[in-house]
Amino acid sequence: MAWPKRRGGVGLPEPAGDGVVLRAIGLRRRLGVGAAAREVLRGIDLTVQAGEFVALTGPSGSGKSTLLYLLGGLDRPDEGEVHIAGVPLAAVQDDDLARLRNQLIGFVYQFHFLLPEFSALDNVLMPLWARGGGRSRHDRAWGEELLQRVGLGDKLDKLPRQLSGGEQQRVAVARALVNRPRLLLADEPTGNLDSVNGQAVYELFRRLNREQRQTILVVTHDPRWAAASDRVLRLLDGRIVADEPQAQLGVGP
Amino acid sequence: MSAVARLAWRHLAAAPRPVALTVAGVAVGVAVFIFTVAMMDGLVIFFSQRILRISPTLTVLPERLETSAARLSLQRSADHDVLVLSRPPVPDQRPTLRGAPGLASQLAALPGVTGVSLAAAPAGVISFGTVPEGAVILGLDPVAEQRVTELWRLVVEGSWDALAARRDGVILGVNLAERLGAQVGDRVLAAGEGGTSKELEVVGILAAGVGALDESTAIVNLPVAQGLAGWGGDEASEIRLRTAQFTGLEELRRRARELAAYRVDTWQESNRAALQLFRTIGLTTYLLTGFVLVVAGLGIGNRLATMILDKERDIAILRAYGFSGWAVRGVFVLEGLLMGVAGALAGCLVAAVAIAYLQAFPIRFARREGAALAYTELYLANDPRYYLLIAAVAVVIALLAAALAVRRAVRVLPVEVLRGMA
């Protein structure tokens, strides 16, 4: 099955098709309260074009995950703006924001976060369920195809506990892709995997970007991700200290 | 099945034991409530039937309608407002119905009336040897009375027929006879208020299970009571009517009042105190039993609260993937609803089986032979409305409990949970 055309949102501003998928302007975020409060992000400006593969790197505590949650509309900045496909997230109410995430963004977390009572296929179809779909033969075929693409075509009906860690993470990747997102965000997607499974997920992302022109922003410590990306952003103490195209790093994909 | 329904169902299916316990809690609450209502309504029905054995369904009393109306107005004004009277009601000095036999004949002709009897009930004294006892001397026509009440069935020694056969016969209430030390065949002296007295032979002992009848009533022939009271032969203290129907008596009462121009009470009014007592006991019991349902509802709330706590991570991921707050609420409210409905159905089933069994094989209590009002068996009423109403209440309580519990679910912020897991 070919990678189908993306569907537009319902009740949300129509995403712009100008090639800029993600724009962040002056993002600041404080976490903690009282004496423990600290500024995790200190003014982030960022633009990601359609089809780009961006790696976000930096030491622990530099604010990578916090930035990813802001970019994905899971959290709101104290200052600054995030635009996804031209839609300003600040103007969107919580439930609409959930819908926007559903329609425009796919997430892959360090942990798979699969729902334990549901099969691999049902987990993949979950984002479609959220928008009232996922039951048609077409949707199920699409979910099955995604699982086949991540190498789990023979494990559609397995429960998460019947899958290995790598397989669970691949199911999570398939789930992130089921709504054909404009933007795929991943937070150390191989952080909990052994090298073999990590390699499989890495290959999958690379293929998605190259073959489907999937826009990807991945938080990683893994040098292979940097090698696969078009750009590497380096974060330090809440600021982007380096934003370099792959070529300047001297590591070809 | 919608996504919300699927999620709810899978959550419940994944924790069968705690869910079963919660459902069982609701089922017990519902079953106990239904059983209690069946028992209390059964008690009222049981005693109503027994009261109807010894009470006329309509009673014409010696109170002129204008007096009756004024008394009612006074009662109402005492409750609510001020009443201005141009002339205070004057009660009858002589509390008898005049022309009672003729009136009784006219009342007997009313459609729906199946029996009429006259009663004269003056106060008096019954003496046996040197023992005097105050008594209500209830004069009746024994034959006519048999078509109005079943007092004749409650004679435990001697016979009712002997009263009809002997003009000087008397049937004593069982406790009155005990205090007098009189037995069937003894001769007692009855004295009226006016000083008239008459020697009577005890022809029967009555055990009705009703205080007033057993403690202080001496049933004699109507002319004897009239003579002791110094009344004329056309005077009576009440006209007792039996009707084909026991409920919906308003129309017949209206016609009887128009005809007689006297106050007419239904059997419910005559026994208001006893019936009110049952209602009060019933209401108290329902309130207490209702708490069982509330506790069952709390069980559902508790189960859902635990489930929501367990599922915080799943809720976060659902929210992250686009499920709205309402959809997440819907999942847990539906779980509460499913547990409530399952518990209500199970409770209805348990109650239905228990009630059917106890109706087929009733628990019988020890009884005093012939006592009209003795509660001789656990009598259970069975009405589909109990089941519908109580099941609906249980489901509403379950929904309320769920609605309270799910507030936590929508307070789960995906980023907080995901950050904590990272």
- For B153, B309, B329, the CA distances from B302, given in Å and listed in that order, are 58, 11, 16
pLDDT band at A190 (very low <50, low <70, confident <90, very high): confident
State the best of A62, A69, A71, A96 to mutate against chain B, taking most chain B CBs within 10 Å: A69
Q: Give the pLDDT confidence score for residue A83 in this predicted structure.
A: 93
pLDDT over 90 percentage in chain B? 38
- Nearest CB among A101, A109, A117 relative to B418 is that of A109
B6/A94 Cβ within 8 A: no
A217-242 mean pLDDT: 88
| A169 phi/psi in degrees, rounded to 5 | -65, -35
DSSP secondary structure of B364-394: BPP--TT-TT---B------HHHHHHHHHHH
∠ at Cα B221 (B219, B227), nearest 5°? 105
* Domain ranges within chain B, ordered by starting residue: 3-52+274-421, 58-62+94-267
CB B252 within 8 A of CB B113: yes
Residues of chain B in contact with residue A98, where contact means CB-CB under 8 angstroms, are 319, 322-325
- Whether the per-residue pLDDT at A246 is higher than 60: the answer is yes
Identity of residue B281: I
Q: Which residue has the higher pLDDT, B147 or A133?
A: B147
Q: Give the pLDDT confidence score for residue B322 in this predicted structure.
A: 86
Q: Which tokens is A26 given?
A: 């002056």
Candidates B145, B107, B108, B115; CA nearest to B221 is B145
Report chain A residues touching chain B, CB-CB < 8 A.
65-66, 69, 72, 74-75, 94-95, 98-99, 101-103, 107, 109-111, 113, 115-118, 122, 126-127, 129-132, 134, 175, 179, 187
Q: For residues B296 and B285, give the distance between their C-alpha atoms in angstroms, rounded to a whole number.
A: 17
Q: Give the pLDDT confidence score for residue B271 in this predicted structure.
A: 84
Identity of residue B112: G
- Whether the per-residue pLDDT at A8 is higher than 50: the answer is no
Q: Which tokens is B26 given?
A: 């609701």
Identity of residue B411: R
- Whether the per-residue pLDDT at A6 is higher than 50: the answer is no
Share the mean pLDDT of chain B: 85
CB B64 within 8 A of CB B248: no
Predicted confidence (pLDDT) per residue in B195-252, tens digit: 789 999 999 999 887 777 888 999 999 999 999 988 888 999 999 999 998 888 888 8
Instruction: Tell me how crowded residue B73 is: count the other CB atoms within 10 A of its CB.
Output: 13
Return left, alpha or beta for A26; rule: phi > 0 is left, psi -120 to 50 is alpha, else beta: left
Predicted confidence (pLDDT) per residue in B292-336, tens digit: 788 888 888 888 888 888 888 888 888 888 888 888 889 989 998
| A117 phi/psi in degrees, rounded to 5 | -85, -5
Q: Which tokens is A245 given?
A: 């195209």
Interface of B with A in 401-420 (CB under 8 A): 414-415, 418-419
Q: Is B82 exposed, middle or buried (0-12, 13-18, 19+ CB in 10 A)?
A: exposed
- Whether the per-residue pLDDT at A253 is higher than 60: the answer is no
Q: For residues B319 and B211, give the distance between their C-alpha atoms in angstroms, rounded to a whole number.
A: 71
CB A192 within 8 A of CB A133: no
Out of B2-16, B53-67, B327-341, B368-382, least confident range: B368-382
Predicted confidence (pLDDT) per residue in B75-122, tens digit: 666 566 655 555 555 555 667 888 899 999 999 999 999 999 999 998
Q: Helix count (H) and strand count (E) of chain B?
A: 17, 11
Number of residues in chain A: 253
A133-137 mean pLDDT: 87
B175-191 mean pLDDT: 93
Q: Which residue of A has its CA nearest to B9?
A: A117
Q: Is B247 exposed, middle or buried (0-12, 13-18, 19+ CB in 10 A)?
A: exposed
Residues of chain A in contact with residue B316, where contact means CB-CB under 8 angstroms, are 113
Distance from CA of B319 to the nearest CA of A (A): 6
Out of A225-229, B30-34, B83-87, B253-257, least confident range: B83-87
Predicted confidence (pLDDT) per residue in A107-118, tens digit: 898 888 899 999
Sheet with A239-245, strands from edge to edge, namely A105-108, A183-187, A215-219, A53-57, A231-236, A239-245
Q: Which residue has the higher pLDDT, B362 or A129?
A: A129
End-to-end Cα spacing for chain B:
33
Q: Give the pLDDT confidence score for residue A3 in this predicted structure.
A: 35
The answer to whether the Cα torsion of A194, A196, A199, A203 is positive or negative is negative
CB neighbours of A47 closer than 8 A, spacing ≥ 6? A20, A22, A23, A24
Give the HSE-up count for residue A196: Cα atoms under 13 Å, Cβ half-sphere: 4
Q: For residues B37 and B48, give the distance between their C-alpha atoms in angstroms, rounded to a whole number.
A: 16
B3/A132 Cβ within 8 A: yes
Residues of chain A in contact with residue B322, where contact means CB-CB under 8 angstroms, are 98-99, 101-103, 127, 130-131, 179
Largest CA distance in chain B: 105
Identity of residue B176: L
Distance from CA of A70 to the nearest CA of B (A): 9
ipTM, two decimals, is: 0.80
Predicted confidence (pLDDT) per residue in B6-43, tens digit: 899 988 998 899 899 989 988 998 999 899 889 888 88
Taking CB atoms and an 8 Å cut-off, how many pairs form between chains A and B? 77
CB B8 within 8 A of CB B334: yes
Q: Which residue of B has its CA nearest to A66?
A: B419
Instruction: Tell me how crowded residue B68 is: count the other CB atoms within 10 A of its CB.
Output: 18
A40-69 mean pLDDT: 91
Q: Which tokens is A202 given?
A: 């890495």
CB neighbours of B418 closer than 8 A, spacing ≥ 6? A69, A74, A109, A113, B316, B317, B320
pLDDT band at B2 (very low <50, low <70, confident <90, very high): confident
Where do the domains of chain A lie, and which CATH numbers do they carry? 51-77+87-249 (3.40.50.300)
Residues of chain A in contact with residue B7, where contact means CB-CB under 8 angstroms, are 115
Q: Give the pLDDT confidence score for residue A225 in this predicted structure.
A: 80
Q: Which residue of A has its CA nearest to B317?
A: A113
State the best of B317, B318, B335, B416 to mutate against chain A, taking most chain A CBs within 10 Å: B317
Q: Give the pLDDT confidence score for residue A210 in this predicted structure.
A: 87
Distance from CA of B322 to the nearest CA of A (A): 4
Q: Which residue of B has its CA nearest to A103?
A: B322
pLDDT band at B264 (very low <50, low <70, confident <90, very high): very high
Q: Give the pLDDT confidence score for residue A67 in this predicted structure.
A: 93
- Residue B9 contacts A where some CB pair is shorter than 8 Å: no
- Whether the per-residue pLDDT at B272 is higher than 80: the answer is yes
Predicted confidence (pLDDT) per residue in A28-40, tens digit: 999 888 888 889 9
pLDDT band at A250 (very low <50, low <70, confident <90, very high): very low
- Whether the per-residue pLDDT at B422 is higher than 70: the answer is no
- Residue B319 contacts A where some CB pair is shorter than 8 Å: yes
Q: Which residue of A has its CA nearest to B412?
A: A74
Q: Give the pLDDT confidence score for residue B50 in this predicted structure.
A: 79
Sheet with A38-49, strands from edge to edge, namely A38-49, A20-31, A79-84, A87-88
Q: Which residue of B has its CA nearest to A125?
A: B3
